[in-house]
């Protein structure tokens, strides 16, 4: 899956770990010290109480060569957002006599997540911000040793985790695939670009994304007039004549008999999608996982006070804020809100608060964000963006819903396949 | 009036009218100063005709704007230029720039007019500046994204709300310490003392509410909710608040719901919603308080509301993304 990728303008500086490592022996029973609700207090009152947040990630192998030199994956992607978020909720916490501490734990690549969880979570329920891929997230959620813990998933976008594989101890921050496709689809329908050529890659995620495109077409009255799979690897990234090969391959791949308005690309692993714009056989725009994309955040977004957030993050991390950074920042902000405004400290209490109508978090979208009760997905407007510019934000005007218009994006209650355990 | 051929008498009347009009012009009606965030200008409107008198270039990203107590100047925060532009209200020119530190968003004046308080949005600070010399007296650390400021009538307390931290911070002006913090609903923007000083009202833009704070106990004593038939609640974003002089009525600008709420300040009942331009944020009264002026960010205009009838009279165009309004009699 791609969001908008990081465009770095400066050299990567040494990443300094600002978080604290969580050792197996380290106590999460710190929670026990935080039992009373927090009252606003004069600054400099009694010693602050500490509230722990565990940031759990895995040292996944670095991705291969990205199609564009401008794309990088910062080593602290995600974590920097969590650290910045922790600093920010501590600004509020400072005034309330409360200190949030981020415990960063990095599992080795290919780790047995359940076994690692057994090693790490020995002192009772914890609040975990999970920077894990879908399969690992599921293993963590099902690990007996984290019983009673709360997981904020700040990374995944897979539909399955919001549908048949949903879990009652997991809350999802970033929009899932179907939400993204619906966000793009509404934009296209609003523009009356309703004839789509679907070009999808070879992976399972691509197949899910492609199914979402067909689902959105049916929902909004658009049509997939042509569909094709692309499974040739354009192995020309670093060769001198790479662009010539691409200039030959892409028109071939996109020459279809039907007339269409836009090419909808499903390439979740960034294999070929970025080669499509200006290389299609017909003069058509490219939308989907590349080209015009849907995302919760891009480093170019500046509306609804997002500009201030971009400034703060740049000062903190010395680079632009990616969608994963935003997901982590928002996850930590949600914990801060639950503890300070929701006045709840146990994972079970936080879960109840996040599911209640008292909960509302600001995420620079011009409206408060809440969780859907049926699959615990964060309900949110979604940005429509090209690499340097945010073009629009969905839901689009005119797409109505009896409840919240943001529920026109993704899986609404009547169509959910999620059955949460109470 | 029926039309007639112009007589000598009519001509005389006309001449007289011209003389009277030009006399009035030298006396000058009230003026509105509107900060245009995107244009880097302040639009000056005539308070009678609402015609544009001048468009004053400012530094970058002008937002918070107030008039001085003596009405000789209008001060506007230039967020991207780290200073305040001082506009002479006679010459309508920027005559002075005061350094504020990074990203000033709004400002307030001390009771005696000798100091200005500035919220530095990017730095989580309130900067206190001596107005005469432009020297910094102190900087007070507060929550993240500080914005609206209120000064108590006795001058002892400055209240600032911080958007990201969602708090009202009470600053003692003797010690420059934060003496109390009150947690508010999400993303507070504006805080105002009631005319009798008994309460503070703070608007929460994303929370969609106005909190009524007791400044003595530092407790929220009431939360005002808004419910507009046919408008999704996520579009209700309260920002600007103004009270009538008698303190009985409050006007609250509601952002993307494109309305100003009329609130009974005794019972906290919302009595009416007045449709204005798109995304009203800040609002202010005319000098005689008969009119309420509302800056509409997305329609680039100012709506004029008749206070007694609570009706919008008309909207007049200004620059792009009008943010706030100062009025000089």
Of the candidates A91, A341, A362, the beta carbon closest to that of B143 is on A91
pLDDT over 80 at B243, yes or no: yes
Lowest mean pLDDT among A191-195, A298-302, B47-51, B230-234: B230-234
User: Rounded mean pLDDT of A131-156?
Assistant: 97
**pLDDT confidence bin for A28, thresholds 50/70/90:** very low
Q: What is the pLDDT of residue A42?
A: 40
SS3 A220: helix
Q: What is the pLDDT of residue A70?
A: 84
Q: What is the pLDDT of residue A231?
A: 80
Retrieve residue A17's tokens.
Answer: 């770990």
Within A110-193, residue ranges assigned H as helices are: 113-120, 134-142, 177-190
Interface test with A, best of B38, B125, B144 (most A CBs within 10 A): B144
For B93-128, what is each residue's pLDDT tens digit?
999 999 999 999 999 999 999 999 999 998 899 999
SS3 content of chain B, % helix, strand, coil (to 5): 10, 50, 40
Q: How far apart are CA A350 and CA A170, in angstroms?
A: 12
Is the peptide bond between A395 and the residue preceding it cis, with omega within 30 degrees of 0? yes
**pLDDT confidence bin for A238, thresholds 50/70/90:** low
CB B122 to CB A340 under 8 A? no
Give the rounded percent of residues in chain A with a pLDDT score beyond 70: 86
CB A312 to CB B235 under 8 A? no
Q: How far apart are CA B255 and CA A205, in angstroms?
A: 40
CA of A40 vs chain B CAs: smallest distance (Å): 6
**ipTM rounded to 2 decimals:** 0.77
pLDDT over 70 at B12, yes or no: no
CB A41 to CB B181 under 8 A? yes
- A241: number of Cβ within 10 Å: 9
Q: Which of A181, A187, A288 is nearest to A230 (CA)?
A: A288
The 10 Å CB-count burial string (b at 16+, else e) for B134-154 is: beeeebbebbbbbbbbbbbee
User: Rounded mean pLDDT of B317-325?
Assistant: 97
**Looking at the complex, does the CB of residue B298 fall below 8 Å from at least one CB of chain A?**
no
A-chain residues near B298 (CB < 8 A) = none
Q: What is the pLDDT of residue A235?
A: 56
Give the rounded percent of residues in chain B with a pLDDT score beyond 70: 91
Q: How far apart are CA B213 and CA A335, in angstroms?
A: 25
For B192-220, what is each residue's pLDDT tens digit?
999 999 999 999 999 999 999 999 999 99
Q: What is the pLDDT of residue A196?
A: 98
Of the candidates B180, B206, B207, the beta carbon closest to that of A40 is on B180
- B58: number of Cβ within 10 Å: 23
- B266: number of Cβ within 10 Å: 9
Q: What is the pLDDT of residue A131?
A: 98
CA of A78 vs chain B CAs: smallest distance (Å): 20
**pLDDT confidence bin for B234, thresholds 50/70/90:** confident
Q: How far apart are CA A100 and CA A185, in angstroms?
A: 40
Pairs of CB atoms within 8 A across A/B: 80
Q: What is the pLDDT of residue A204?
A: 95
User: Rounded mean pLDDT of A77-95?
Assistant: 95
Q: What is the pLDDT of residue B230?
A: 87
Interface test with A, best of B123, B234, B321 (most A CBs within 10 A): B234
Q: What is the pLDDT of residue A248?
A: 85
The distance from CA A278 to its chain's CA centroid, rounded to whole angstroms, is 28
Q: How far apart are CA A373 and CA B174, in angstroms?
A: 49
Q: Which helix (H) or strand (E) holds B113?
A: none
Give the rounded percent of residues in chain A with a pLDDT score beyond 90: 76
DSSP sequence for A295-341: ES--TT--TTTHHHHHHHHHHHHSS---HHHHHHHHHHHHHHHHHHT
CA of B237 vs chain A CAs: smallest distance (Å): 8
**Looking at the complex, does the CB of residue B230 fall below 8 Å from at least one CB of chain A?**
no
A-chain residues near B180 (CB < 8 A) = 40, 42
Q: How far apart are CA A359 and CA A142, in angstroms?
A: 26
- A284: number of Cβ within 10 Å: 19
B-chain residues near A362 (CB < 8 A) = 164, 186-187, 206
Interface test with B, best of A43, A310, A396 (most B CBs within 10 A): A43
Q: What is the pLDDT of residue A69?
A: 81
Retrieve residue B158's tokens.
Answer: 């400055």
Q: What is the pLDDT of residue B304?
A: 98
User: Rounded mean pLDDT of A174-194?
Assistant: 98
What's chain B's average pLDDT? 92
A-chain residues near B187 (CB < 8 A) = 305, 362
CB A40 to CB B144 under 8 A? no
pLDDT over 70 at A398, yes or no: yes
Q: Which helix (H) or strand (E) holds B235?
A: none
Bridging pattern class, strands A49-58 and A127-131: parallel
The DSSP output letter for B51 is -
Q: What is the pLDDT of residue A240?
A: 60
Q: Are A230 and A193 in contact (CB under 8 A)?
A: no
User: Rounded mean pLDDT of A311-322?
Assistant: 96
A-chain residues near B232 (CB < 8 A) = 404-405
B108 versus A387: the higher-pLDDT residue is B108
Q: How far apart are CA B202 and CA B223, in angstroms?
A: 10
Going along chain A from its start, the domains and CATH numbers come out as 6-175+307-371 (3.40.50.2300), 178-295 (3.40.50.2300)
SS3 B92: coil
A-chain residues near B208 (CB < 8 A) = 368
CB A305 to CB B187 under 8 A? yes
**pLDDT confidence bin for A249, thresholds 50/70/90:** confident
Calculate the alpha carbon distances from B258 to A243, A351, B307, B324 in Å.
Answer: 51, 35, 18, 16
pLDDT over 60 at A4, yes or no: no
Q: What is the pLDDT of residue A241?
A: 61
CA angle B98, B102, B108 (to 5 degrees): 55
């Amino acid at each position: 899956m791609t969001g908008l990728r990081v465009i770095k303008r400066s050299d990567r500086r040494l990443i300094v770990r600002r978080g604290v490592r969580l050792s197996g022996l380290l106590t999460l029973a710190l929670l026990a010290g935080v039992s009373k609700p927090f009252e606003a207090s004069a600054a400099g009152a009694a010693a602050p109480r500490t509230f722990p947040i565990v940031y759990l990630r895995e040292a996944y192998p670095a991705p291969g060569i990205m199609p564009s030199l401008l794309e990088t994956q910062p080593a602290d992607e995600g974590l920097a957002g969590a650290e910045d978020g922790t600093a920010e909720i501590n600004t509020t916490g400072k005034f309330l006599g409360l200190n949030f501490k981020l415990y960063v734990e990095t599992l080795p690549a290919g780790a047995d997540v359940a076994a690692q969880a057994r090693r790490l979570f020995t002192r009772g329920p914890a609040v975990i911000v999970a920077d894990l891929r879908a399969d690992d997230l599921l293993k963590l959620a099902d690990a007996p040793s984290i019983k009673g813990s709360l997981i904020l998933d700040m990374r995944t976008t897979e539909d399955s985790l919001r549908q048949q594989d949903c879990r009652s101890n997991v809350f999802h921050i970033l929009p899932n695939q179907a939400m993204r496709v619906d966000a793009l689809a509404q934009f296209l329908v609003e523009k009356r670009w309703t004839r789509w050529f679907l070009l999808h890659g070879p992976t399972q995620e691509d197949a899910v994304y492609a199914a979402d495109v067909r689902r959105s077409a049916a929902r909004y009255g658009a049509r997939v007039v042509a569909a094709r799979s692309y499974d040739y690897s354009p192995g020309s990234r670093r060769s001198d004549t790479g662009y010539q090969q691409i200039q030959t391959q892409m028109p071939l791949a996109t020459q279809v008999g039907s007339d269409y308005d836009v090419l909808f690309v499903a390439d979740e692993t960034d294999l070929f999608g970025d080669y499509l714009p200006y290389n299609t056989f017909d003069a058509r725009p490219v939308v989907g996982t590349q080209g015009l994309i849907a995302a919760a955040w891009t480093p170019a977004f500046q509306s609804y006070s997002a500009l201030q957030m971009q400034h703060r993050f740049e000062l903190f991390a010395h680079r632009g804020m990616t969608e994963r950074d935003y997901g982590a920042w928002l996850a930590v902000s949600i914990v801060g809100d639950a503890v300070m405004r929701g006045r709840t400290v146990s994972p079970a209490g936080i879960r109840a608060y996040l599911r209640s109508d008292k909960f509302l978090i600001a995420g620079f979208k011009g409206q408060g964000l809440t969780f859907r009760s049926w699959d615990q997905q964060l309900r949110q407007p979604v940005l429509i963006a090209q690499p340097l510019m945010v073009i629009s934000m969905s839901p689009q005007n005119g797409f109505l819903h009896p409840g919240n218009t943001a529920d026109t994006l993704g899986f609404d209650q009547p169509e959910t396949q999620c059955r949460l355990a109470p | 009036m029926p039309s007639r051929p112009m007589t000598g008498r009519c001509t005389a009347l006309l001449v007289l009218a011209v003389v009277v009009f030009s006399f009035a012009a030298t006396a000058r009606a009230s003026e509105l100063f509107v900060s245009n965030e995107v244009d880097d200008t302040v639009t000056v409107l005539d308070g009678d005709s609402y015609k544009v008198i001048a468009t004053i270039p400012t530094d970058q990203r002008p937002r918070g704007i107030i008039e001085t107590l003596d009405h000789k100047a209008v001060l506007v925060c230039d967020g991207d230029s780290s200073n305040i532009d001082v506009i002479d209200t006679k010459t309508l020119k920027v005559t002075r720039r005061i350094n504020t530190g990074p990203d000033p968003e709004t400002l307030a004046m001390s009771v005696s007019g000798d100091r200005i308080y500035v919220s530095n949005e990017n730095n989580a600070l309130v900067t206190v500046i001596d107005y005469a010399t432009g020297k910094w007296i102190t900087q007070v650390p507060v929550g993240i994204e500080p914005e609206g400021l209120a000064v108590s009538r006795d001058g002892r307390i400055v209240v600032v709300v911080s958007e990201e931290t969602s708090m009202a911070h009470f600053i003692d002006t003797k010690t420059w310490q934060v003496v109390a913090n009150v947690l508010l609903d999400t993303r507070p923007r504006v805080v105002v003392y009631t005319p009798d000083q008994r309460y503070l009202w703070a608007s929460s833009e994303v929370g969609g509410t106005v909190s009524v704070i007791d400044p003595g106990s530092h407790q929220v004593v009431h939360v005002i909710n808004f419910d507009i038939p046919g408008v999704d609640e996520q579009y209700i974003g309260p920002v600007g608040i103004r009270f009538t002089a008698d303190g009985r009525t409050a006007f609250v600008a509601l952002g993307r719901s494109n309305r100003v709420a009329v609130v009974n300040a005794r019972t906290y009942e919302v009595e009416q919603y007045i449709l204005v331009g798109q995304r009203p944020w800040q609002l202010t009264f005319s000098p005689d308080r008969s009119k309420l002026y509302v800056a509409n960010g997305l329609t680039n205009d100012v709506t004029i509301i008749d206070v007694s009838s609570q009706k919008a009279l008309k909207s007049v165009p200004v620059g792009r993304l009008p943010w706030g309004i100062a009025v000089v009699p």
